[in-house]
Amino acid sequence: MSTKKIEVDDAIKSLLREVSSDNIRSNLITISSYHTRHTKSKYINEVAEWLKNQFKIMGYQNVSFHTYRENIDGDDYDLRNIVCKKYGINSECVIILCAHYDSRVKKLRDSTSRAPGANDNASGVSAILEIARILYKQKLYCNLQFVFFSGEEQGLLGSKHYAKFLKEKNNISKYRLINLDMVGYPQLNPGLVIVERDNNTKLRYNKVRENDADSVKFGNIMRGMSRYAGLQYRLDSIYDSDYEHFEEEGSIVIGAYDGSGQEDLNPHYHDTSDTASLIDWNYLNAVTKMVLGTILKVARLPS
Ligand SMILES: [Zn+2]
């Protein structure tokens, strides 16, 4: 495997320096302060409003809810994904940067207990808000979509509906997608980020083979940026998160993950104790830089 260092030009370097740990922290604290973001809870659509408004405050005009109805535990719920679009000059290139914004405790049906979901997944959401803020004024070659999903914990519901919606309108095999799910608690793997590619050998997690090579290539860019951001990396495969339905539709998907979603090793996983006080701010800052750098490597206008 090549150990060649990724080239990062001055324009990208200066944008990466704009990543603000204070912004990320303040957004993460707000998001994890909602009593719960359980998809059945009365708070979920309130959180959606707050998230949509954050894009508006940054100046984005094209921000909307993608709505869907799902039956969960016997009741129907009207739910929202949040979609913020930024247009580039070539509509053939589209990058989706996504994260789920719902949370849970160990008992999945429990929608009333305190579920701060700071790492799972206010961390991914906060990183994306910071990336969107920095990219607002940038002229890009590719179209970007910043997307937040609900219903992930109930079985990837929001992303299932959004992938289906995109597929009905577009050829989504040209889409590239970066999913962030748990990117702020590296205690099980100190200083290390897991770069997930679409090369799972289990058919269940790899429905389409034609997109595998492009995903590995895309992952190599993220791997290069992880080193630039001061992180160690481990290469792994996509598994159990919102990228799955896009993979199934043929999109080129990768993910970043801190490796802490292991119930037997991490007592805070899907627990009331997944609070902001456990977040490693330097690590989350570095992951945010890695992801921003990955997007810029693909989406920035050639200078
Ligand atoms: Zn998650």
The confidence score (pLDDT) of residue 6 equals: 86
Domain 10-299 CATH superfamily: Zn peptidases (3.40.630.10)
Gap from CA of 63 to ligand 1 centroid (Å): 23
The confidence score (pLDDT) of residue 171 equals: 81
The confidence score (pLDDT) of residue 173 equals: 83
The 3-state DSSP class for residue 46 equals helix
Gap from CA of 298 to ligand 1 centroid (Å): 26
Q: DSSP labels for 178-215?
A: EEE-S-S-GGGSTTEEEEEES--SSGGG---STTHHHH
Return d(Cα 127, Cα 180) in angstroms, integer: 8
The confidence score (pLDDT) of residue 2 equals: 53
Gap from CA of 174 to ligand 1 centroid (Å): 25
The confidence score (pLDDT) of residue 169 equals: 87
Return d(Cα 182, Cα 85) in angstroms, integer: 23
The pLDDT averaged over each successive group of 10 residues in the chain (303 residues) is 76 96 98 98 98 98 98 97 96 95 98 98 98 97 97 97 93 92 96 96 92 96 96 96 96 97 95 98 98 96 66
Gap from CA of 167 to ligand 1 centroid (Å): 24
Cβ atoms of 23 and 58 within 8 Å: the answer is no
Gap from CA of 141 to ligand 1 centroid (Å): 30
Cβ atoms of 186 and 260 within 8 Å: the answer is yes
Gap from CA of 120 to ligand 1 centroid (Å): 5
Domain ranges of the chain: 10-299
The confidence score (pLDDT) of residue 3 equals: 57
The confidence score (pLDDT) of residue 303 equals: 58
Gap from CA of 127 to ligand 1 centroid (Å): 14
The torsion of the CA quartet 52, 57, 63, 64, rounded to 10 degrees, works out to: 30
Q: Which residue has the tokens 């302060």?
A: 33
The confidence score (pLDDT) of residue 172 equals: 85
Gap from CA of 104 to ligand 1 centroid (Å): 9
DSSP designation for 1 = -
Return d(Cα 8, Cα 292) in angstroms, integer: 12
The closest of 40, 177, 50, 42 to 109, measured between CA atoms, is: 40
Return d(Cα 37, Cα 28) in angstroms, integer: 13
Q: Which residues surround ligand 1, an ion (CB under 5 A)?
A: 120-121, 181
Gap from CA of 128 to ligand 1 centroid (Å): 14
Gap from CA of 216 to ligand 1 centroid (Å): 22
